Structures are given as structure tokens and as C-alpha cells.
A and B are shown apart, each in its own frame.
Chain A
Amino acid sequence: MEAGVAGAGANVMLDRVGLGWRPELAGGNLSNLDHIDVLEVITDDYWNSARGIRAVKMLAAQRPVVLHGISLSLGSTVPVDSRRLDKMARLFDAVRPESWSEHLAFVRAGDIEIGHLAAPPRTAATVDAAASNLEKARAAVGTMPLVENIATLIDPPASDRGEPAWLAETLAASGAGMLLDLHNLYANSVNFGVDPFEFLARLPSAAVHQVHISGGRWIDNGDPRERRLLDDHLHDPPEPVYELLAELASLCPNPLTVILERDGSYPPMEQLLRHLDLARAALSQGRLRKVA
């Protein structure tokens, strides 16, 4: 269902709303494809075998698919691993997705695997290094990935600039488009004392093409006065995320593809579909604001 239909004619931008493909949601996804405009597939789950690649090709025959990488470590000052890029290129060639994306993060250093996405120090050096890695990714795969902002519980050490500036500089230096994760933006904003709408306003909205929405929970180290919001993908997106989505839709000139991410504590499929409708409503509301 295109957002233009769901938005009762208000949204003429052909924005789309979909889900991250997860094995646990496969049945629900496949039986509700008419409510899901697009599916996002995690590349690392499938790129290691011909069987995996065939599975994604079959999925792409059912619904538009976008690919999402999680392990290329493109935000590192270490050059991107060419073997991983080759796997990405092989999967991309086989599936021919609409687009692919990766994070502005480092996930390993030397022989140490961190296990998740870590925020690089925000400096001119990491802007240049990310741009160089992104160019290598473009050369290997044939198209530039969209790059995603990450959530971080720690203010990245040894940084000399704020996150909005670092993101904007990296986008400008690389020429990449952006996958804007609104819950990551929201979590980093509340955790480090930034107004999330000011953060959004400082990003180049014309570079944004895709959006992630998700939820999280508050955690602390034993002192609730020093709690922080963890982006865990185990909870529904909170209301401010939809307000940010509407605001983004009012600023962004591009059609947006919005993906709801959920990585566990899976609710009934109806609940996930309700959140897709909330995203469609927020998009329509923002597009109307833009017209007005």
C-alpha cells in the first residue's frame, strides 16, 4: 500500500513504509504484504552462501527490497575490508535491490570485535576516512550506500565537533545520501542534552532518502539520575519519533522510505502494522505542513 493511498490523498510524495525482515516475523510479513511497501534485509544474514542469496532474490520478487549492512565498519580510520565488500557486491548484483545502506560506525579495531556499532571520534580525520571508505564501497558495489547515524550510549571520546556537524560534513565529503534513524537521533539527543528538533534542523534534509524508526528503554548504572535511553529495537517507537518523522517530511524534498525495526520481544503482527500506519500518518501530516 503506497503512503499516498493510506494518507487519504494528502501525501503525493509516494513515501513508502515497510519493515525490517526478520525470520521470526516471516509468516506475518508474508501474509500481510499488501500492507508492507518495502522490506529491508540485513546483508550479513545472507551474503555467505548461494542459498542465502537465492532466498533474498525470492523475497525481492514479492516486494521491493533494500539491503542493510551492519559490519563494514565504514566509520573507521582503518580501510574497509575488501572481502566484506566483495560479499556485499555479490549479494547486490544478485538481488539488484533499490538501494543499500550501512552505518557510520566502527565495529572492530585490530583483532578486537566490539560486537556492535561504536561511534567513532567525531573529527576531521574520521570525516575523511569515512569518505574514503564510502568511495571504496561505491567502487566495489557499483552504487554508494546510504549512510546511517548510530545511537551511542557514550559521548564519543576525543571528538572535537558535535554529531550534526560531523554527519553533515561526512555527507558532503562523500556525496552519500542518508538513512536517518530517528530513534538514534532522539536517543542521542536526550542522552547528551540536545534538542532533537534542533538536531534534525541542522542536518541536510535534502540528503535524506530513507528513515529508520524503532524504540528503546531507559537504563542506568545504579543511579537513576544518570539514566540513558538505550536503542534496543525491542520496544515500539515513542511518540517523539513520529513527531520527528512529521517534521522531517515537512523539510525533506525527497520521497522517503521508512522502515520499522524490531529485533525481539515481537508483538502481534497487528501491532507492527499499526505502527506502519502511524508512520504513514506522520508522513502525510508533514507533507501537508510542507505544502502549507
Chain B
Amino acid sequence: MSSPLLEQFLARIYVDPQARARFLADPQGEAAKAGLPADQCLALKSIDRVGLEMAARSYSKKRQSKSKPRSLWSRLFTAP
């Protein structure tokens, strides 16, 4: 019950706040719109909402920290 399409759907709701809000308002409907099969749509209806918000926040912080310029100290000891 897993597929590249399901991973793409999950990745989108993890990184895109608007997609996440639409999904949380209508989990099954948004999953169906994305072309996911019925069993995955049903499974997503009972998604861990608390964890979804926390995970999305954590991923966002990670992406931000990766885009920050590296310190001089860091550049001295890592490859360019």
C-alpha cells in the first residue's frame, strides 16, 4: 500500500503549508484529487494530525538551516 505517488503526496503536505491546510480540511478528498487509490485515501483520513504539524515545522527548520551560509570555522574544515 505504498507508492511513489503516495510519497509525493506526503512530501507535498510536509513542505507546503497551503497544501497541508487543504488536506487537513478534507483529507480523503485531497488524497483522491491527487489520484491516490481508495485504500490510501482511507488511511490518510486518520493521519496523525499532531505529528504532521510537528514534523512539518521540523522539516521547515532543517531546510532553513541548510540554506544559511556556512561559518568561517565550518568552511575551514569542510570541502568547498
Residues of A within 8 A of B (CB): 23-24, 26, 45-46, 48-49, 51-53, 55, 76-78, 106, 108-110, 112-116, 118, 120-121, 123, 125-126, 129, 152-155, 157-158, 160, 191, 219-221, 226, 228, 230
Cβ contact within 8 Å between A154 and B78? no
Instruction: Give the complex CA separation of A158 and B8 in angstroms.
Output: 13
Interface band, chain B: 35 or more
Q: Which of A46, A51, A114, A120 has the most CB of B within 10 A?
A: A114
Interface residue ranges, B against A (CB under 8 Å): 1-4, 6-8, 10-12, 14-15, 40, 43-44, 47-48, 50-55, 58-60, 62-63, 66, 71, 73-80
Q: Which of A106, A109, A123 has the most CB of B within 10 A?
A: A109
Q: Does B78 contact A123, Cβ atoms closer than 8 Å?
A: no
Q: Indicate if the CB atoms of B59 and A114 lie closer than 8 Å.
A: yes
Report Cα–Cα, A158/B40, bound state, in Å. 6
In the complex, the number of residue pairs spanning A and B with C-beta atoms less than 8 Å apart equals 123
Assuming A45-B78, A108-B11, what are 12 further A-B pairs, CB within 8 angstroms? A23-B74, A23-B78, A26-B77, A49-B80, A77-B3, A77-B4, A78-B4, A109-B4, A114-B59, A115-B63, A115-B66, A158-B44
Interface SS, B side: helix
Given A24-B73, A113-B63, A115-B66, are A221 and B53 neighbors across the interface (CB < 8 Å)?
yes
Say which residue of A24, A109, A121, A154 sits within 8 Å of B52 (CB atoms): A154
Contact B54 A52 (CB under 8 A): no
**Inside 8 A of A152's CB, which chain B residues have their CB?**
51, 55
